[in-house]
Amino acid sequence: MCSSRVRSVDEACEARPEPRPAAAPQNPLKRLHCAVQQYAWGRNSEDSEVAQLVAASGQAVDPTKPYAELWMGTHPSAPSLLADNGYAGQPLLTLLRDRPELLGAALPRFGCDLPFLFKVLSVGTALSIQSHPDKALAERLHADKPEIYKDANHKPEMALALTEFEALCSFVPHSELLESLEACPELAQCCGSQCVEALRAAAAAPDGSPQRTAALRAAFHEVMACPADRAAAYVERMCERLKADAAEGCQLSPRELLSLRLELQYPGDVGVLAAWFLNYLRLQPGQAVALPANEPHAYISGEIVEVMATSDNVIRAGLTPKMRDVEALCSSLTYDQGLPELLTGGKAAASPHLAVYRPPFREFELWRYTPPAGTAEELPAADGPLMVLVQQGGLRVRSGSQSRNLQRGDVYFVAAGAALELQAAADSRHLLGEQGASGAAPVGELELQPLSGRAEASSEASTSYASATGRPSSYARVHGSASRAPARWRRIDTVAKEQLREVRYEKAQGEGIAKITINRPEKRNAFTPRTVMEMSWCFADAREDPAIGVIILTGEGPLAFCSGGDQSVRGAGGYVGADGIPRLNVLDLQMQIRRLPKPVIAMVAGYAVGGGHILHMMCDLTIAADNAVFGQTGPKVGSFDAGYGSTQMARLVGQKKAREMWFLARLYDAQQAMDMGLVNTVVPLAELEPETLQWCREILKNSPTALRVLKSALNAAEDGQAGIQQLGGDATLLFYQSEEGNEGRQAYMDKRPPDFSRFKRLP
């Protein structure tokens, strides 16, 4: 039925003269009534953006049902209807058949139909592990199983986050998959020893090689085709193991926590294991990901705008009560490995407030429009049609003789060739848009985001670098904003040929971040000589690793960063280790942090007191949770720090406040600490690591040599001759990298006089 309908539409279009998209159409704005899908994975009406948009548009909302998707387009499964007088109830597709010129330059390529489908998704529980077929496969599947695969079109798509959004997408890098097989023995057992050995052997082959592809295909198929009872047993064993680890105080990785969540939603489902094959993404508002045909993915949680080719074809194989087509899925995937590229929206020439998301598909692109309050400007005519969604806020739109006040929940079709005069409401914040690619591939949609008052689009832009008016700054347009997504930590248990017992050491996979965690929560992370030695080994390793650019120092659990030296092992000459020798080796650690040529960030939750307070002061930056507590306790336990613990504190908070902190031994909350300059920022406890990772990623965008020299320079003013020596060494290192420095060395090696005449004596 679907394919015959498409053919009849194409024939109708062929009988008409080709339109002239440059001509401005009459009455180009068409208000739409759009359909809602109430799938079980959606959200309840109070938490669903879909339900709230529907309610804002004047439609009734059923509080007893989930709201999953809002469809805006012509697909026969849920077609949009015209809502204006004279057209009310008529399908948009009927109008496009009668007036194909409304499609403009899209018509010759895509026929008398919108080439894209525009959606808002409210994801409450995970969607199935799935892929969308390419054109050839879609035609074959539709011919064989039209009741399952409802059309013959392919379905490339793009998802743009309105809130923080979790998804599984594409296969993980090969090295990460091998690590997952070690971390999750149940996954390895489900794959089988033959597949595991093939994956390990393929590690020596290059990315994308036939050997790697074959090994990955065999292992993934082995898991997806695992009999349901065996799969359920593997999943149950994995979850029991993870729960036992958590009960013993082990910190589960984001991937392990996700496995427990998925198992709660889909008990015993093989998709809980299959998820380990896929990249775990956490998109921040304003980030988008493009999903080509034949790529595995699964949406986990959050609110998104989604745009795709006009199709509803889905091949499912896990995390679903619906029909599974394991063979179709596994035989059609590309098996490309690696992290997908995240899109943040490129600058558009039409307006400084317009960001364009261009996926590698010809059917559509997405516009995000974020004008400051009261902005009035014109967007030039597009070659293809637009679909406009107002998510919130207010906007007045004029095109030709038409003028409309758009408000939250409004959806409009805008004909090709229509210029738009826009007036943002006084309390508007921003609006978001989708629009088809210009020229040969003109299709698309415009979605308005939080504009105050009435018209808003899918609000999801990052505000990290927004100006006070809400306008993204030039800095943001050039550099973007750093992600707050979880890191994938790789634990290192042996450093300097020693097994770590009191410290946990991790490195973020694919990123230049190391994390050192004092792992004595039963002692409020108080340190012993062994703890300090292990921290020192880890700092030395991070210094020597050229891939590491920033280091996080933190404490295990939410109760304490570090409570200083463990008084139970304190002796007459210091803190006594297992060898019976008393030490104050934490003083050496302070110097090591100070002189380490890479930024060190203290990530503080709970108590940072005594020697722990001094450790955080020695770090270059401190990010504190709102439950953090700071202070010096030494005078209460017969101790003090006459070195950095006194002098560095005085430089940070001033002499009077430093004396107060030492003489009274009071404790201060996180906000008080920030007010006196002890910490850089305070965030809710749940946001502590995401905030810290965002700072790390911003730092890693900068010149490592500049950061190294700046740290030395900032220290030199306070560290006397030792600080000058460190700065001088860094300056020498920098000079060694210059052409002038190399000339002197090379002349010596060549046994010739150096020629410095070509280097200018600058003022």
221 is catalytic: no
The residue with tokens 């003489």 is 663
Following DSSP, what letter does each residue of 350-397 receive, concatenated?
Answer: S-TTEEEE--S-SS--EEEE-PPTT-EEEEPPPSS-EEEEE-SSEEEE
Distance between CA atoms of residues 621 and 377, nearest Å = 43
Tokens of 69: 């998707």
The residue with tokens 């002890």 is 678
Which of these is catalytic: 145, 322, 666, 745? 322
Which of these is catalytic: 132, 150, 524, 530? 132
Burial of 323 from C-beta contacts in 10 A (0-12 / 13-18 / 19+): exposed
Following DSSP, what letter does each residue of 145-208 receive, concatenated?
Answer: -TTTS--S----EEEEESS-EEEEEEEPPHHHHHHHHHH-HHHHHHH-HHHHHHHHHGGGSPTT
| Residue 434 phi, psi dihedral angles, 5° rounding | -120, 135
Distance between CA atoms of residues 390 and 614, nearest Å = 52
263 is catalytic: no
378 is catalytic: no
157 is catalytic: yes
Sign of the dihedral defined by the CA atoms of residues 269, 275, 277, 278, in that order: positive
- Cβ contacts of residue 24 below 8 Å, gap of 6+? 381, 400, 417, 418, 419
Which of these is catalytic: 52, 130, 170, 180? 130
322 is catalytic: yes
Which of these is catalytic: 69, 157, 295, 365? 157
Question: 3-state class of 577 per DSSP?
Answer: coil
Which of these is catalytic: 316, 454, 484, 711? 316
What are 570's strand-pairing partners?
575
Which of these is catalytic: 128, 170, 301, 464? 128
Closest by CA to 607, choosing from 633, 638, 578, is: 633
What are 412's strand-pairing partners?
31, 388
**What are the C-alpha distances in Å from 199 to residues 173, 329, 539, 549?**
12, 20, 33, 31
- The distance of Cα 322 from the centroid of its chain, to the nearest Å, equals 29
Which of these is catalytic: 174, 282, 297, 515? 297
403 is catalytic: no
407 is catalytic: no
761 is catalytic: no
Q: Which residues of 80-90 are buried (b: 16+ CB within 10 A; e: fewer)?
A: bbbbeeebeee
Residues involved in catalysis = 128, 130, 132, 155, 157, 297, 316, 322
